[in-house]
Chains A and B, each alone.
Chain A
């Protein structure tokens, strides 16, 4: 990891309230699943750095003189990301990265199932491109399967999605009607794969809870990327803790994660915590988190 002033190459809208940030990247190349933290303003309010999962990386091109770039897709949902959205290309941001543990790559012959929920698509897209490049080079696994979940057709981002991506929408206005989890659960061929499949996912806690349960049932190994509020981002403050599934305390999203094995975290507890507000007089609704940008969460 390094701290440096990162020049903004692009900071463009890709969907309503979603943007893609591209930075000139001077630290070591990030791996899919890792993240960076940014100070979005030199002022003291908002105070803390914000974490953003990498959605891609392009190495420098010495022939053409192009610098290495790293990208992140983020959602504008609080004061810090609103400030970030206003910063034009050419300006610099105080960046620290790459941070956290990346997705472990699939073992030879393992089928990779990738699922992204909402703004959680960033690290999943990064991994999909990496796995496709490996597959094209004849290394490692078969072609990965990529499923991306959105609210509706209007919320689909203007991003270069890998060929063969399966789109899912809650209302069926584009692609499969339902969630990536439901689509994966309905696929009988995938159920046959058992331990020959490995699931990778990033999205709201409720989605990860559902996927962790499905992976366990199917015998798939699962690597799930969490989101949690962070203060330091480097493992020092213990602020970004997530509850362990075995009840033996907590793990740090920033340094022990953000990518965890399916059975490591009590995702159901996290999903319940992230549940939307309960209306006065109404019975609590089942947990269903907002679209998340793992890791880290913007305050509203």
Chain B
């Protein structure tokens, strides 16, 4: 039996449901010697901001039980360098590319999207034979816990999420995903705000705010004090958030948080996700996304499931 692995996100059809998460995969080229980039369902780029960002003071990462804490601070070369240097590289990729966009004000998000729209030119479905534009969609980051302005301040307020989403929607016909934070009492109103604003999908979870203290030095382990927790330790939180969001909206939900194997991804798909992203799991083993996809396919064959999009209706009770 051949499985149908395709997933639809707004106008975009992904070849398969397993992508690699923003901030963990650079712009793709960093992993090209280790990973078959063409086999990925989607690549979500490192966040792009209007101005270059050097990133936060060091140390920026620390390992935690079955996880890690990071406070990178959206380090990136900025919009113009992205357009000049990264976009031409992204055009070489066959996999769908979501450009992750961050900003400290609504205007900054809009400026980034407008500039990339103008530079990328018209969009065509990946695999259609048309020239690749380098950008198949946007993932709007309203959930970074490691920057002072923007980030979480947007992502925890439904009114702001709806307004920002609608403003970006008015500027692009490409697939539009809003990335949500788990650092709220309930993800449902935020997910609904993104849907009302015109998003094609929501992705969650971004990292959980966490802290590690070096007791010998009596200092936080990270220079910024707190950071974002990721890795297998957060997976049950992510699955619960996806389960909730999927029941709050009709648009697709993209699940991420702690996926290191096919069973982890299947938990997200059964919870209601249409697609998943592998993040920290790639650091542990760059082959993780490929192994997750192979394992999902094997599970579908064993269970007699023809279409990957059917999995989200299969959860019992």
Q: Which residues of A contact B54 (CB under 8 A)?
A: 248-250
* Chain A CB within 10 Å, residue with most, of B31, B34, B46, B283: B283
The answer for the CA separation of A293 and B25 in the assembled complex, in Å, is 26
Q: Which residues of B contact A3 (CB under 8 A)?
A: 34, 286-287
B218 within 8 A of A: yes
A239 within 8 A of B: yes
B237 within 8 A of A: no
Q: Which residues of A contact B285 (CB under 8 A)?
A: 39, 94
Can you list, as one digit per residue, whether each of A28-63 has a CB less than 8 Å from chain B (1) or not (0)? 000000000001000011111100000000000000
Are A229's CB and B59's CB within 8 A? Answer: yes
Partner of A47, one of B34, B67, B217: B67
Q: Which residues of B contact A9 (CB under 8 A)?
A: none
Q: Which residues of B contact A280 (CB under 8 A)?
A: 218
B26 within 8 A of A: yes
A82 to B: closest C-beta gap in Å: 14
Q: Which residues of A contact B62 (CB under 8 A)?
A: 229, 299
Number of chain A residues whose Cβ lies closer than 8 Å to a Cβ of chain B: 38
Determine the residue in chain B with the shortest Cβ distance to A249: B54
B282 within 8 A of A: yes
Given contacts A47-B67, A47-B231, contact A236 B61 (CB under 8 A): no
The answer for the CA separation of A137 and B46 in the assembled complex, in Å, is 47
Q: Which residues of A contact B148 (CB under 8 A)?
A: none
Stretch at the interface among B68-76, B95-103, B111-119: B68-76
B55 within 8 A of A: yes
Given contacts A231-B283, A236-B25, contact A47 B61 (CB under 8 A): no
B51 to A: closest C-beta gap in Å: 12
Q: Is the interface of A mostly helix, strand, loop or mixed?
A: loop
Q: Which residues of A contact B59 (CB under 8 A)?
A: 228-229, 273
Interface residues of B in 246-294 (CB under 8 A from A): 260, 280, 282-287
Are A250's CB and B55's CB within 8 A? Answer: yes
Are B216's CB and A47's CB within 8 A? Answer: no
Determine the residue in chain B with the shortest Cβ distance to A239: B61
A226 to B: closest C-beta gap in Å: 11
The answer for the CA separation of A76 and B59 in the assembled complex, in Å, is 21
Q: Which residues of A contact B58 (CB under 8 A)?
A: 228, 241-243, 250, 273
Determine the residue in chain B with the shortest Cβ distance to A94: B285
Partner of A2, one of B33, B217, B280, B283: B33
B317 within 8 A of A: no
Partner of B30, one of A232, A241, A276, A278: A232
Partner of B283, one of A44, A232, A235: A232
The answer for the CA separation of A277 and B219 in the assembled complex, in Å, is 9
The answer for the CA separation of A63 and B59 in the assembled complex, in Å, is 48
B65 within 8 A of A: yes
Are A235's CB and B26's CB within 8 A? Answer: yes
Are A237's CB and B23's CB within 8 A? Answer: yes
Given contacts A44-B66, A249-B54, A250-B75, contact A229 B34 (CB under 8 A): no
Given contacts A231-B283, A249-B55, contact A236 B60 (CB under 8 A): no
The answer for the CA separation of A284 and B282 in the assembled complex, in Å, is 40
Determine the residue in chain B with the shortest Cβ distance to A300: B216
Partner of A96, one of B34, B63, B75: B34
Partner of B24, one of A49, A232, A235, A255: A232
Q: Which residues of B contact A96 (CB under 8 A)?
A: 34, 286
Are B55's CB and A241's CB within 8 A? Answer: yes
The answer for the CA separation of A116 and B62 in the assembled complex, in Å, is 26
Are A39's CB and B284's CB within 8 A? Answer: yes
B290 to A: closest C-beta gap in Å: 12
B150 within 8 A of A: no
A98 to B: closest C-beta gap in Å: 11
Can you list, as one digit per residue, whether each of B56-93 has a CB less than 8 Å from chain A (1) or not (0)? 01111111011110101001000000000000000000
* Chain B CB within 10 Å, residue with most, of A45, A47, A277: A47
Task: Other than A96-B286, A237-B283, give 20 A-B pairs with Cβ distance below 8 A.
Answer: A2-B33, A39-B284, A44-B232, A46-B63, A47-B231, A94-B285, A231-B70, A234-B286, A236-B24, A236-B26, A238-B60, A239-B60, A239-B70, A241-B58, A241-B60, A249-B54, A255-B30, A273-B58, A273-B59, A277-B217
Q: List 27 A-B contacts (CB under 8 A).
A: A44-B231, A46-B63, A47-B66, A47-B68, A48-B63, A229-B59, A229-B62, A230-B61, A231-B68, A231-B70, A232-B30, A233-B283, A234-B34, A234-B286, A235-B30, A236-B24, A236-B26, A239-B72, A249-B75, A250-B54, A255-B30, A273-B58, A273-B59, A273-B223, A277-B214, A277-B218, A278-B218
Top 3 A-B residue pairs of the complex, sorted by shortest distance between their CB atoms: A249-B54, A236-B26, A239-B61
